[in-house]
């Protein structure tokens, strides 16, 4: 499953980035990305959050990386990406 592999790669990168500087373009170029199913990404992210295998900082980094990659390399709308990653699939209301 592509989304499971993507989340696994991001999880490894997240742990490495927690203490180091982030070079976004270099990381983006190293990730082999096929546009996965939106629902699969949401399910994998929810499973990861509930497993508590990452601390809050690592989870925030992972979510940021996921948004960045999806914005750069997918055809999904910005609002849909943010609602999936930060809102659990629910629409976000911006104030």
pLDDT tens by residue, 62-81: 888 888 888 877 888 888 88
pLDDT over threshold 80, residue 49: yes
Query: Radius of gyration over alpha carbons of the chain, in Å?
Result: 13
Domain segments of the chain as ranges: 2-87
Q: Is the dihedral of CA 64, 55, 39, 85 positive or negative?
A: negative
User: What burial class does residue 37 get, using C-beta atoms within 10 Å of its C-beta: 0-12 exposed, 13-18 middle, 19+ buried?
Assistant: exposed
Place of tokens 């629902």: 39
Q: Measure Cα distances from 79 to 63, 66, 70, 82, 85 in Å.
A: 15, 14, 11, 5, 10
Q: How many residues does the chain have?
A: 95
d(CA 50, CA 71): 25
Confidence of residue 53 (pLDDT cuts 50, 70, 90): confident
pLDDT at 16: 65
């Amino acid at each position: 499953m592509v989304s499971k592999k993507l989340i696994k790669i991001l999880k490894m990168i997240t742990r490495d980035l927690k203490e180091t500087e982030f070079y976004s373009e270099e990381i983006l170029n190293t990730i082999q990305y096929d546009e996965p199913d939106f629902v699969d990404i949401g399910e994998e992210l929810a499973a990861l959050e509930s497993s508590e295998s990452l601390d809050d900082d690592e989870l925030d980094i992972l979510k940021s990386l996921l948004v960045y990659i999806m914005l750069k390399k997918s055809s999904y709308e910005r609002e849909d990406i943010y609602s999936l990653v930060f809102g659990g699939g629910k629409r976000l209301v911006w104030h």
